[in-house]
Amino acid sequence: MKKIVLERVGDVVRALGSGPRLELLEHVSQGERSVERLADAAGLSVANASQHLLKLRAAGFVRSRRDGKAVMYSLADPSVTELVAGLFRHAERTQAEIRAIVADSFGRLDRLEAVSRSELIGRLEEGAVTLLDVRPEDEFALGHLPGALNVRLDQLEARLAELPADREIVAYCRGPYCVLSFEAVAVLRSKGFTVRRLEDGYPEWLAAGLPTESAERAL
């Protein structure tokens, strides 16, 4: 009896224990999207992505609904984001290999200088910062932090004029392991801007129950 429960919980946990599925989950947590777009974002074949998404759904991490000919997947519950974030934190803390890669490719300093969510809230209330969302337009449209300016990373150098030179900028993207905001910080600093990263990203903001804006109709 107890063994059955443990085995079932094991099934649920195992559904998370796969690189492709963790990546799909990261993309799903940006907002509701079709199988095809998720497959594209994660670099998987549509059939393969579909299978992975079905497993995530069976394990209760995402849910789906039919919209015309497309099936739209979205996060089952905001608490999933926190659960997954906890697992990433644990893995980064205990796995030397992950720490090494993270330290290498993301840069130790940028991590330490990141702005926490609570600090950002305080600074936003003071009106002291400009928020910069460096994700693609479609993810921005699905939802973003209130008042954020959206400039895709590859357009950043062309649109520097839109950014304030005399205010601090806080850049964010998909989450703590998303490289977009790291690169945005590097680019902007080299141009003389005052800029820091948000330590996590949009999904964590959403999961914390904080207000968001969206260009499309509410979910």
Contacts with DNA by CB under 7 A lie at: 14, 17-18, 20, 34-36, 44-48, 50-55, 64, 66, 68-71
**How is the beta sheet containing 168-173 ordered, strand by strand?**
149-150, 129-133, 168-173, 195-201
CA dihedral 180, 182, 188, 193 (to 10 degrees): 130
Q: What tokens does 102 get?
A: 């993270």
**Minimum CB–partner distance for residue 5 and a copy of itself (Å):** 6
Query: Which partner in a copy of itself, DNA, none is near 68 (CB below 5 to 8 A by kind)?
Result: DNA
The rounded distance, in Å, linking the Cα atoms of 54 and 195 is: 40
Cβ neighbors of 128 (< 8 A, separation 6 or more) are 167, 168
CA distances from 137 to 151, 182, 209 (A): 8, 18, 23
83 interacts with, out of DNA, a copy of itself, none, CB within 5 to 8 A per kind: a copy of itself
**Span interacting with a copy of itself, options 87-95, 113-121, 122-130, 139-147, rule CB under 8 A:** 87-95
Please give the Cα distance from 123 to 216 (Å, whole number): 27
Among residues 54, 98, 124, 149, which is the contact residue for a copy of itself, using CB under 8 A?
Answer: 98
103 forms part of the interface with a copy of itself (CB under 8 A): no
Q: Is 218 in the site for a copy of itself (CB under 8 A)?
A: no
Catalytic option among 41, 56, 173, 178: 173
Check: CB of residue 174 under 8 Å from CB of residue 26: yes
Stretch of 14-22, 45-53, 129-137, 200-208 lying at the interface with a copy of itself (CB under 8 A)? 14-22
Q: Is 173 a catalytic residue?
A: yes
Binding site residues, a copy of itself, CB under 8 A: 1-23, 59-60, 76, 79-80, 82-83, 86-88, 90-91, 93-95, 97-98, 101-102, 105, 177, 179
By annotation, the residues acting in catalysis are 173
